[in-house]
Amino acid sequence: METENSTLSRAEELKLLANEAFKAHKFFQAIDLYNQAIKLNDQNAVYWANRAFAHIKLEEYGSAVQDASKAIEIDPKYSKGYYRRGAAYLSMGKFKEALKDFQQVKKIRPNDPDAAKKLKECEKAVMKLKFEEAIAVSESERRSIADSIDYHSIDVEPQYSGARIEGETVTLDFIRQMLDDFRSQKRLHKRYAFQIVLQAREMLRSLPSLVDVTIPSGKHFTVCGDVHGQFYDLLNIFEINGLPSEENPYLFNGDFVDRGSFSVEVILTLFAFKCLCPSAMHLARGNHESKSMNKIYGFEGEVRSKLSETFVGLFAEVFCCLPLAHVINGKIFVVHGGLFSVDGVQLADIKALDRFCEPPEEGLMCELLWSDPQPFPGRGPSKRGVGLSFGADVTKRFLQDNNLDLVVRSHEVKDEGYQIEHDGKLITVFSAPNYCDQMGNKGAFIRFEAPDLKPNIVTFSAVPHPDVKPMAYANNFFGLFS
């Protein structure tokens, strides 16, 4: 009996330490401590629900759903279990499942005004979703927004004092002026924004789904991970590593937008460099270059606020033109998410993918955008609830099958801005330092020099930005649950 009591009290101590780590935004550490508490006492619903919340903070929504479900199984009357699971479902865009959980919270806590408010917001989101589904036009019937826009016919008011594109060509002088304007939080005129996005679309849609990049001997190439709307940190990358040019080419490996509240500035900057010099700016699709993510995580609201409703649809179209992966000098495979649920996938299979659509919920395209590495062999369920987790053996086989040396991917925040895994055969690179103004992580990018292509990893810290909070343009209801 005494031993049992001391085990339970040690579990409680670990929970309190985990709570402190959580408050300090040390979410990985918090999860580790909750793991230890659960090992000592796996029948305490609070431990599972708290760990679910830490998973939510790390965007591991699949794991959060599992933990919250376990809390509910232990104590069906524990409202926080439903609450956490509902929040995780919301984050995955599964509004109907979320609604059921918030209805349970309201049932358990009928007099709680906060529970009532959240339920109401969730109901509104589900109603909106149903309405959008009802009026949606099928892909085959949909007319291209891009084809209906003539930016030449848009007048620029005499009082507009920002950057201007003279004629049809985006120049470096224009981009420098635009970056200065963005730095001072000035807007680019819609005429020039349309011009940049439409020209970038033409270039992107002509590319294959898997792009081969050649770096001549003695030259270098820089790969950046997620930027997530952190425009001032993007400027800092250019400060450290130079502006994109023929001599200084970049690949931005997806998740340019969402979360950070300067996503419009980021995407217009990357697209403008693509227009200036296509070989200086390579762009890959991330899981956040999709309608469902942009609806939840702020990009759609930001575009509506800074540009117009037309741009919402236009960006959705252009994101469907982004390539899915790159191969550098036939040796380095670069992809946003990761590898596959089946062995034997060839580069030719990726090249053959019809990418001109919203990402599906399964299959090769989904896995390229969503999967994550795991520290043990084989394959497992995704901690995100989409895609899968894959081990070093999966990475090794894929590299051997395709005569490649290395996988570079992004998609996950890392304390140092990068992580080398799978016996050195896989590198995660993440370029949004102090992610969402709260993670305290560094950012990183990788420079490869030909011919040896040895990865030179450069890390950097966050720089100050104007006082606009991350997710400032996200759906109102979403802010209630974060």
Are 417 and 430 within 8 A, CB to CB?
A: yes
Block residue for tokens 């002088």: 173
Measured CA distances, 403 to 18, 95, 412 (Å): 44, 43, 26
Q: What angle do CA 204, 373, 332 make, to 5 degrees?
A: 50
In whole angstroms, what is the distance from residue 285 CA to residue 13 CA? 44
In whole angstroms, what is the distance from residue 413 CA to residue 225 CA? 10
In whole angstroms, what is the distance from residue 43 CA to residue 75 CA? 9
Give me the residues paired with residue 372 across strands: 389
Block residue for tokens 């699971």: 85
Cis ω for the linkage preceding 455 (within 30 of 0): no
* 288 in catalytic set: yes
In whole angstroms, what is the distance from residue 283 CA to residue 250 CA? 8
Which one of 228, 282, 288, 336 is the catalytic residue?
Answer: 288
DSSP string, 352-365: T----SSPPSSSHH
Could you give the maximum distance between any two Cα atoms of the chain, in Å? 83
In whole angstroms, what is the distance from residue 433 CA to residue 410 CA? 13
Measured CA distances, 96 to 280, 303, 370, 448 (Å): 43, 26, 22, 46
DSSP three-state, residue 197: helix
Backbone phi and psi for residue 257, each to the nearest 5 degrees, phi listed first: -120, 180
Which residues are catalytically annotated?
A: 288
